Structure 1
Amino acid sequence: MENYSRFTDPKLPAIYEKVKTEERLSFEEGVALYESSDITGVGFIANHVRERLNGNVAYYNINQHIDYSNVCILHARCHFCAFARKNMQTEGAWEMSVDEFLD
């Protein structure tokens, strides 16, 4: 029996079962993945598909972009970066103006 404790979104185990058996997801299931706040669970499912298609190989690129703010709406549930702030009222939060961005 599969251990589904890795999922915090109760919709994900059923979706994962379909993905494992290579069943096509419904539109509603796709929307559930998109709207899920369980980013780790969605990533686990995506990695399963990635490994099935490409094996245990990953490719990386270097992005060059301008950080125009450190305010992030995902800050409460995402641990990707250590510098994001929840909102502009949070200590250390900043945003560039359009003029600053263009300079």
Structure 2
Amino acid sequence: MNNAGWIVTFFIIPFMNFFLPLLAFLDVSKKMAIKQLGEKDKKQNSLIIFWWVFFLFSMLMTMSSGFFTVENATISMIQNDALTTSLSEFTLFIAGILAIFVVRNLTNQQSNRT
């Protein structure tokens, strides 16, 4: 995982693109913390994991709402679809905020190294 080509490929391979970027972020965070502190930073790891859980939950909710949409949908089916979509968008918003914190923390770790 030390090659830059692997990192780009992680985001392209179907199904693996859900998990390999998480492992890459955890690996970078762990190596940076060990270089600076001599130990793993559990707070940073939990932030990365929370970000990834919210992101995956949002994507799964989006995919599931599309599967249940039918042509002759009733009002209650459309309401359920709207609720699912709203929940998905909210969790994606939370994931976006967490992604900003993850990138800031990793950037701060790397800039403190120099």
Q: Does TM, scored on the shorter chain, surpass 0.5?
A: no
Which bracket does the TM-score occupy, shorter chain normalised?
0.3 to 0.5
TM-score, length-scaled by structure 2: 0.33
Specify which structure has the bigger relative contact order, considering alpha-carbon pairs within 8 angstroms and separated by 6 or more residues: 2
Higher helix proportion (structure 1 or 2)? 2
